[in-house]
Homo-oligomer: A and B are copies of this chain.
Amino acid sequence: MSTDCNHANHGYSSNKDAHLKRLRRIEGQVRGVQRMIDEDQYCIDILTQVAAINKALHAVSLGLLEEHISHCVVGAARESEATGDPEILQAKVQEASAAISRLMKS
């Protein structure tokens, strides 16, 4: 593992509070949709809210991804250079790419 990417030192660590705040807001939005359904609100209005939650989750993903690239992937690049083993970087890039692919499809 890269020294930039071990426990308690992930890319996102410095923005932890911001991420948690966003996720608590999203949790509230999910509860809001439950209330809308419970109160028999109009389907389209509920769908609008669900789309807003998806957007908010995408914003969280992008933030995590950005930090992951600038810390973990870049750290792996550094390690690949230091050790002469290109596969350390390659593995990290492929892992990030698979994560992006899952987010695109979700």
A residues bordering B, Cβ < 8 Å? Answer: 5, 7-13, 16, 19-20, 23-24, 26-27, 30-31, 33-34, 37-38, 40, 42-44, 46-48, 50-55, 57-58, 60-62, 64-70, 72-74, 77-78, 81, 89-90, 93-97, 99-106
Contacts and interface: CB of A to CB of B under 8 A. Distances in A.
Given A47-B102, A50-B103, A26 B30 contact: yes
Given A12-B46, A66-B94, A78-B81, 19 more contacts: A8-B40, A16-B38, A23-B30, A23-B34, A24-B34, A43-B64, A43-B67, A50-B57, A50-B64, A54-B57, A58-B104, A69-B93, A69-B97, A73-B73, A73-B74, A74-B77, A74-B89, A104-B104, A105-B105
A106 B29 CA distance: 15
5 contacts: A5-B42, A16-B38, A27-B27, A66-B97, A74-B89
